[in-house]
Homo-oligomer: A and B are copies of this chain.
Amino acid sequence: MAEPQFYVPSRCYTAGEVATLAGAVLADEAYAGNEISNLAAAEHGGPGTLVYVEKGRHAKLLGGLIAAAVLCPAELAARVPAGIAALTTSSPALAFAQIARVLCPAAASPQAVTGETGISPAAHIAADALIEAGAIVEAGAVIGAGAAIGRGTIVGPGAVIGPGCQIGRDGYVGASTSILASLIGDRVIIHTGARIGQDGFRFMPSARGLVKMPQLGRVVIQDDVEIGANTTIDRGALSDTLIGEGTKIDNLVQLGHNVRIGRHCAIAAHVGISGSVVIGDFVMMGGLVGVADHVKIGDGVHIAAASGVMHDIPAGQKWAGLPAQPAKDWFREVNMIRKLAGNKSRKGSGDV
Protein backbone atom coordinates (compact mmCIF):
# COMPACT_ATOMS: atom_id res chain seq x y z
CA MET A 1 0.00 0.00 0.00
CA ALA A 2 1.45 3.39 -0.93
CA GLU A 3 2.17 5.76 1.94
CA PRO A 4 -0.50 8.41 1.96
CA GLN A 5 0.44 12.07 1.70
CA PHE A 6 -2.15 14.34 3.22
CA TYR A 7 -1.69 17.59 1.33
CA VAL A 8 -0.02 17.80 -2.06
CA PRO A 9 -0.56 20.38 -4.81
CA SER A 10 -3.56 19.67 -6.95
CA ARG A 11 -1.47 20.17 -10.11
CA CYS A 12 1.98 21.23 -11.29
CA TYR A 13 2.79 24.93 -11.25
CA THR A 14 5.65 26.74 -12.97
CA ALA A 15 8.06 28.97 -11.08
CA GLY A 16 6.71 31.86 -13.10
CA GLU A 17 3.13 31.18 -11.99
CA VAL A 18 4.21 30.88 -8.38
CA ALA A 19 6.11 34.16 -8.54
CA THR A 20 2.97 35.87 -9.75
CA LEU A 21 0.71 34.22 -7.19
CA ALA A 22 3.10 35.03 -4.33
CA GLY A 23 3.87 38.57 -5.42
CA ALA A 24 7.56 37.62 -5.64
CA VAL A 25 10.13 38.58 -8.27
CA LEU A 26 11.59 35.86 -10.47
CA ALA A 27 15.31 36.69 -10.44
CA ASP A 28 16.16 34.95 -13.70
CA GLU A 29 13.53 34.47 -16.43
CA ALA A 30 15.46 31.46 -17.72
CA TYR A 31 13.95 29.45 -14.87
CA ALA A 32 10.34 30.59 -15.35
CA GLY A 33 9.35 27.18 -16.62
CA ASN A 34 10.77 25.17 -13.68
CA GLU A 35 7.98 22.80 -12.68
CA ILE A 36 6.83 22.69 -9.06
CA SER A 37 5.01 19.55 -7.98
CA ASN A 38 5.41 19.74 -4.20
CA LEU A 39 6.30 21.88 -1.20
CA ALA A 40 9.16 21.14 1.17
CA ALA A 41 11.34 22.53 3.95
CA ALA A 42 14.67 23.79 2.60
CA GLU A 43 16.58 21.09 4.51
CA HIS A 44 14.44 18.38 2.89
CA GLY A 45 14.15 19.84 -0.60
CA GLY A 46 14.26 17.74 -3.74
CA PRO A 47 13.60 17.89 -7.47
CA GLY A 48 10.30 19.63 -8.19
CA THR A 49 9.93 21.24 -4.78
CA LEU A 50 9.24 24.82 -3.77
CA VAL A 51 11.09 25.82 -0.60
CA TYR A 52 11.83 29.05 1.25
CA VAL A 53 14.95 30.41 2.90
CA GLU A 54 15.13 33.26 5.40
CA LYS A 55 18.00 35.54 6.28
CA GLY A 56 20.39 34.59 9.07
CA ARG A 57 21.33 31.05 10.08
CA HIS A 58 18.72 29.64 7.73
CA ALA A 59 20.55 31.06 4.71
CA LYS A 60 23.37 28.54 4.96
CA LEU A 61 20.90 25.93 3.62
CA LEU A 62 21.25 27.58 0.20
CA GLY A 63 24.64 25.91 -0.30
CA GLY A 64 23.40 22.36 -0.79
CA LEU A 65 19.87 23.21 -1.83
CA ILE A 66 17.97 20.93 -4.19
CA ALA A 67 14.66 22.41 -5.40
CA ALA A 68 12.78 23.70 -8.42
CA ALA A 69 12.33 27.14 -6.85
CA VAL A 70 13.13 28.98 -3.66
CA LEU A 71 11.43 31.99 -2.06
CA CYS A 72 14.21 34.11 -0.55
CA PRO A 73 15.17 37.72 0.17
CA ALA A 74 16.66 39.61 -2.77
CA GLU A 75 20.08 39.83 -1.09
CA LEU A 76 20.37 36.02 -1.10
CA ALA A 77 19.39 35.53 -4.75
CA ALA A 78 23.02 35.45 -5.88
CA ARG A 79 23.70 32.48 -3.57
CA VAL A 80 20.91 30.31 -5.05
CA PRO A 81 22.52 27.35 -6.92
CA ALA A 82 22.27 27.29 -10.67
CA GLY A 83 19.14 25.60 -12.01
CA ILE A 84 16.91 26.70 -9.13
CA ALA A 85 14.48 29.56 -9.69
CA ALA A 86 15.05 32.31 -7.10
CA LEU A 87 11.76 34.07 -6.23
CA THR A 88 12.67 37.11 -4.21
CA THR A 89 10.45 38.71 -1.61
CA SER A 90 10.97 40.59 1.65
CA SER A 91 9.09 37.93 3.67
CA PRO A 92 9.83 34.45 2.30
CA ALA A 93 8.00 32.51 5.07
CA LEU A 94 4.92 34.70 4.71
CA ALA A 95 4.95 34.32 0.93
CA PHE A 96 5.39 30.57 1.31
CA ALA A 97 2.40 30.38 3.69
CA GLN A 98 0.34 32.29 1.14
CA ILE A 99 1.33 30.13 -1.80
CA ALA A 100 0.83 26.90 0.16
CA ARG A 101 -2.81 27.91 0.58
CA VAL A 102 -3.15 28.32 -3.18
CA LEU A 103 -1.33 25.13 -4.18
CA CYS A 104 -2.98 22.97 -1.48
CA PRO A 105 -6.38 24.57 -0.92
CA ALA A 106 -7.44 21.82 1.50
CA ALA A 107 -4.62 22.86 3.82
CA ALA A 108 -5.97 26.37 4.11
CA SER A 109 -8.53 25.39 6.74
CA PRO A 110 -9.40 22.29 8.75
CA GLN A 111 -11.42 19.62 6.98
CA ALA A 112 -14.32 17.40 8.02
CA VAL A 113 -13.19 13.95 9.14
CA THR A 114 -15.97 12.05 7.48
CA GLY A 115 -16.27 14.06 4.32
CA GLU A 116 -19.95 14.47 5.16
CA THR A 117 -21.65 17.73 4.26
CA GLY A 118 -24.60 19.14 6.09
CA ILE A 119 -25.86 17.58 9.27
CA SER A 120 -24.99 13.94 9.85
CA PRO A 121 -27.98 11.74 10.67
CA ALA A 122 -25.75 10.37 13.45
CA ALA A 123 -25.47 13.78 15.16
CA HIS A 124 -27.70 14.64 18.13
CA ILE A 125 -29.14 18.12 17.82
CA ALA A 126 -31.69 19.85 20.06
CA ALA A 127 -34.92 20.69 18.28
CA ASP A 128 -34.46 24.44 18.76
CA ALA A 129 -30.76 24.65 17.90
CA LEU A 130 -30.04 26.89 14.91
CA ILE A 131 -27.71 25.31 12.38
CA GLU A 132 -27.24 27.74 9.53
CA ALA A 133 -27.33 26.23 6.05
CA GLY A 134 -23.79 25.39 4.96
CA ALA A 135 -22.60 24.28 8.37
CA ILE A 136 -21.32 20.71 8.76
CA VAL A 137 -22.16 18.69 11.85
CA GLU A 138 -20.39 15.31 11.86
CA ALA A 139 -21.39 11.94 13.31
CA GLY A 140 -21.69 11.76 17.07
CA ALA A 141 -21.68 15.53 17.62
CA VAL A 142 -24.16 16.77 20.26
CA ILE A 143 -25.67 20.26 20.15
CA GLY A 144 -27.73 21.57 23.06
CA ALA A 145 -30.90 23.59 23.28
CA GLY A 146 -30.84 27.02 21.74
CA ALA A 147 -27.29 26.74 20.46
CA ALA A 148 -26.43 28.40 17.15
CA ILE A 149 -23.81 27.39 14.56
CA GLY A 150 -22.95 29.66 11.63
CA ARG A 151 -22.59 28.73 7.98
CA GLY A 152 -19.32 27.22 6.87
CA THR A 153 -18.45 26.04 10.36
CA ILE A 154 -17.49 22.36 10.87
CA VAL A 155 -18.49 20.69 14.11
CA GLY A 156 -16.33 17.54 14.28
CA PRO A 157 -17.25 14.00 15.33
CA GLY A 158 -18.19 13.72 18.98
CA ALA A 159 -17.89 17.47 19.61
CA VAL A 160 -20.33 18.78 22.22
CA ILE A 161 -21.83 22.27 22.05
CA GLY A 162 -23.71 23.22 25.21
CA PRO A 163 -27.10 24.89 25.42
CA GLY A 164 -27.18 28.52 24.39
CA CYS A 165 -23.69 28.58 22.92
CA GLN A 166 -23.17 30.59 19.76
CA ILE A 167 -20.48 29.81 17.19
CA GLY A 168 -19.93 32.07 14.20
CA ARG A 169 -19.19 31.34 10.57
CA ASP A 170 -16.39 29.50 8.79
CA GLY A 171 -15.07 28.04 12.01
CA TYR A 172 -13.89 24.61 13.08
CA VAL A 173 -14.65 22.70 16.25
CA GLY A 174 -12.45 19.60 16.27
CA ALA A 175 -13.39 16.06 17.22
CA SER A 176 -14.24 15.36 20.87
CA THR A 177 -14.13 19.03 21.82
CA SER A 178 -16.57 20.40 24.40
CA ILE A 179 -17.89 23.95 24.49
CA LEU A 180 -20.15 25.26 27.24
CA ALA A 181 -21.39 28.74 28.16
CA SER A 182 -19.51 30.34 25.27
CA LEU A 183 -19.95 32.95 22.55
CA ILE A 184 -17.53 32.40 19.69
CA GLY A 185 -16.88 34.63 16.69
CA ASP A 186 -16.17 33.94 13.03
CA ARG A 187 -13.28 31.92 11.60
CA VAL A 188 -12.36 30.53 15.00
CA ILE A 189 -10.39 27.25 14.89
CA ILE A 190 -10.70 25.04 17.96
CA HIS A 191 -8.57 21.91 17.74
CA THR A 192 -9.48 18.43 18.95
CA GLY A 193 -10.14 17.87 22.62
CA ALA A 194 -10.17 21.53 23.72
CA ARG A 195 -12.41 22.22 26.74
CA ILE A 196 -14.08 25.58 26.78
CA GLY A 197 -16.53 27.00 29.28
CA GLN A 198 -16.37 24.52 32.16
CA ASP A 199 -16.38 25.84 35.74
CA GLY A 200 -13.36 27.76 37.01
CA PHE A 201 -11.46 26.77 40.13
CA ARG A 202 -12.40 28.79 43.22
CA PHE A 203 -13.09 27.19 46.58
CA MET A 204 -13.21 28.81 49.99
CA PRO A 205 -12.21 27.07 53.23
CA SER A 206 -15.05 26.56 55.68
CA ALA A 207 -15.80 24.41 58.69
CA ARG A 208 -17.34 21.88 56.30
CA GLY A 209 -14.36 21.77 53.95
CA LEU A 210 -13.88 23.62 50.69
CA VAL A 211 -17.00 25.46 49.45
CA LYS A 212 -17.32 26.14 45.73
CA MET A 213 -17.98 29.62 44.39
CA PRO A 214 -20.63 29.16 41.68
CA GLN A 215 -19.27 29.97 38.24
CA LEU A 216 -21.84 32.11 36.42
CA GLY A 217 -19.89 33.84 33.64
CA ARG A 218 -19.14 32.99 30.03
CA VAL A 219 -16.28 32.53 27.63
CA VAL A 220 -16.20 35.08 24.83
CA ILE A 221 -13.88 34.34 21.91
CA GLN A 222 -13.48 36.97 19.21
CA ASP A 223 -12.92 36.44 15.48
CA ASP A 224 -9.90 34.64 13.99
CA VAL A 225 -8.75 33.03 17.22
CA GLU A 226 -7.08 29.59 17.11
CA ILE A 227 -7.08 27.29 20.13
CA GLY A 228 -4.87 24.21 20.48
CA ALA A 229 -5.67 20.58 21.16
CA ASN A 230 -6.63 19.66 24.73
CA THR A 231 -6.37 23.29 25.86
CA THR A 232 -8.74 24.29 28.70
CA ILE A 233 -10.46 27.67 29.06
CA ASP A 234 -12.70 28.16 32.08
CA ARG A 235 -15.88 30.24 32.05
CA GLY A 236 -15.85 33.46 34.03
CA ALA A 237 -16.90 33.38 37.67
CA LEU A 238 -19.10 36.51 37.62
CA SER A 239 -17.84 38.28 34.52
CA ASP A 240 -16.53 36.71 31.29
CA THR A 241 -13.32 35.07 30.22
CA LEU A 242 -12.25 36.84 27.01
CA ILE A 243 -9.90 35.95 24.14
CA GLY A 244 -9.25 38.87 21.79
CA GLU A 245 -9.34 38.89 18.01
CA GLY A 246 -6.61 37.02 16.16
CA THR A 247 -4.99 35.53 19.25
CA LYS A 248 -3.42 32.07 18.81
CA ILE A 249 -3.18 29.57 21.65
CA ASP A 250 -1.22 26.33 21.49
CA ASN A 251 -1.98 22.87 22.93
CA LEU A 252 -2.49 22.01 26.62
CA VAL A 253 -2.76 25.64 27.75
CA GLN A 254 -4.87 26.48 30.83
CA LEU A 255 -6.73 29.80 31.06
CA GLY A 256 -8.46 30.38 34.39
CA HIS A 257 -11.75 32.17 34.98
CA ASN A 258 -12.02 35.86 34.10
CA VAL A 259 -8.75 35.88 32.21
CA ARG A 260 -8.77 38.61 29.57
CA ILE A 261 -6.34 38.23 26.68
CA GLY A 262 -5.97 40.97 24.09
CA ARG A 263 -5.65 40.78 20.33
CA HIS A 264 -2.99 39.02 18.22
CA CYS A 265 -1.22 37.31 21.10
CA ALA A 266 0.64 33.99 20.74
CA ILE A 267 0.62 31.67 23.76
CA ALA A 268 2.72 28.49 23.53
CA ALA A 269 1.98 25.02 24.90
CA HIS A 270 1.59 24.20 28.60
CA VAL A 271 1.18 27.84 29.62
CA GLY A 272 -0.99 28.27 32.72
CA ILE A 273 -2.69 31.60 33.34
CA SER A 274 -4.42 32.00 36.69
CA GLY A 275 -7.74 33.64 37.33
CA SER A 276 -8.40 37.32 36.51
CA VAL A 277 -5.08 37.91 34.74
CA VAL A 278 -5.31 40.73 32.17
CA ILE A 279 -3.06 40.53 29.09
CA GLY A 280 -2.66 43.24 26.44
CA ASP A 281 -2.33 42.99 22.66
CA PHE A 282 0.58 41.42 20.73
CA VAL A 283 1.87 39.56 23.79
CA MET A 284 4.01 36.45 23.24
CA MET A 285 4.60 33.71 25.81
CA GLY A 286 6.92 30.73 25.47
CA GLY A 287 5.91 27.28 26.63
CA LEU A 288 5.39 26.29 30.27
CA VAL A 289 5.01 29.89 31.50
CA GLY A 290 2.90 30.36 34.63
CA VAL A 291 1.18 33.63 35.54
CA ALA A 292 -0.15 34.27 39.05
CA ASP A 293 -3.71 35.46 39.53
CA HIS A 294 -4.69 39.13 38.99
CA VAL A 295 -1.39 39.98 37.30
CA LYS A 296 -1.54 42.61 34.51
CA ILE A 297 0.66 42.24 31.43
CA GLY A 298 1.03 45.17 29.03
CA ASP A 299 0.91 45.29 25.24
CA GLY A 300 3.76 43.73 23.31
CA VAL A 301 5.32 41.93 26.28
CA HIS A 302 7.46 38.84 25.51
CA ILE A 303 7.82 36.21 28.21
CA ALA A 304 10.47 33.50 27.86
CA ALA A 305 9.56 29.83 28.16
CA ALA A 306 9.23 28.36 31.66
CA SER A 307 9.02 31.76 33.39
CA GLY A 308 6.90 32.21 36.52
CA VAL A 309 5.26 35.64 36.48
CA MET A 310 4.31 37.00 39.91
CA HIS A 311 4.19 40.74 39.12
CA ASP A 312 2.65 43.13 36.62
CA ILE A 313 4.75 43.67 33.50
CA PRO A 314 4.81 47.06 31.75
CA ALA A 315 4.15 47.22 28.01
CA GLY A 316 6.95 46.32 25.64
CA GLN A 317 9.23 44.51 28.09
CA LYS A 318 10.89 41.11 27.72
CA TRP A 319 10.79 39.04 30.92
CA ALA A 320 12.20 35.68 31.94
CA GLY A 321 13.01 33.54 34.97
CA LEU A 322 11.51 32.08 38.09
CA PRO A 323 10.30 34.32 39.59
CA ALA A 324 10.18 36.30 36.35
CA GLN A 325 11.98 39.64 35.99
CA PRO A 326 13.30 41.61 33.01
CA ALA A 327 15.11 39.07 30.84
CA LYS A 328 18.45 40.83 30.87
CA ASP A 329 18.37 40.87 34.69
CA TRP A 330 17.56 37.19 34.84
CA PHE A 331 20.32 36.22 32.43
CA ARG A 332 22.74 38.44 34.37
CA GLU A 333 21.90 36.34 37.45
CA VAL A 334 22.24 33.08 35.56
CA ASN A 335 25.65 34.09 34.26
CA MET A 336 26.79 35.43 37.64
CA ILE A 337 25.84 32.18 39.36
CA ARG A 338 27.63 30.12 36.73
CA LYS A 339 30.76 32.18 37.18
CA LEU A 340 30.60 32.01 40.99
CA ALA A 341 30.21 28.22 40.84
CA GLY A 342 33.04 27.85 38.34
CA ASN A 343 30.65 26.46 35.72
CA LYS A 344 30.81 26.99 31.99
CA SER A 345 28.85 29.87 30.52
CA ARG A 346 26.83 28.86 27.48
CA LYS A 347 26.48 30.80 24.25
CA GLY A 348 22.95 32.00 23.71
CA SER A 349 21.98 32.22 27.37
CA GLY A 350 21.28 35.87 26.80
CA ASP A 351 18.57 35.22 24.18
CA VAL A 352 14.89 35.06 25.06
Distance of A140 Cα from B235 Cα, bound (Å) = 24
Tell me the bound Cα distance from A178 to B237 in angstroms: 26
How many chain A residues touch B (CB < 8 A): the figure is 133
Q: Which residues of B contact A30 (CB under 8 A)?
A: none
Of B91, B142, B164, B175, the residue contacting A178 (CB under 8 A) is B175
CB distance from A294 to the nearest CB of B (A): 9
- Given B41, B177, B349, which contacts A323 in the complex, CB threshold below 8 Å? B349
Interface membership of A79, Cβ < 8 A: no
| Listed stretches A61-69, A81-89, A325-333; interface member | A325-333
A232 and B238 form a contact (CB under 8 A)? no
Which of A44, A101, A176 neighbours the largest number of chain B CB atoms within 10 Å of its CB?
A: A176
Is B107's CB under 8 angstroms from A215's CB?
Answer: yes
Q: Interface stretch among A13-21, A70-78, A267-275?
A: A267-275
Q: Mark A283-318, 1 if CB is under 8 A from B, else 0.
A: 000111010100000000000011010110000000
Chain B residues whose CB sits within 8 angstroms of the CB of A232 once the complex forms: 193, 228-230, 251-252, 269
Taken together as a complex, chains A and B put the C-alpha atoms of A130 and B263 apart, in Å, by: 44
A241 within 8 A of B: no
Is B218 a contact of A6 with CB atoms below 8 Å?
yes
Which residue in chain B gives the minimum CB-CB distance to A138? B142
Could you say which residues of chain B place their CB within 8 Å of the CB of A252? 230, 232, 252, 254, 272
Number of copies: 3
Give the contacts of A231-260 with B (CB-CB under 8 A). 232, 234-235, 237-239, 245-246, 248, 250-252, 254, 256, 258
CB distance A310 to B100 under 8 Å? no
Pairwise interchain contact B238-A44, C-beta atoms closer than 8 A: yes
Expressed in whole angstroms, the Cα–Cα distance for A175 and B114 within the complex equals: 18
Nearest residue in B to A206 (C-beta to C-beta)? B94
Contact A201 B96 (CB under 8 A): no
Bound-state CA distance A203–B115 (Å) is 27
> Which residue of B98, B140, B162, B165 contacts A124 across the interface (Cβ within 8 Å)?
B140
Q: In angstroms, how far is the closest chain B Cβ from the Cβ of A171?
A: 14
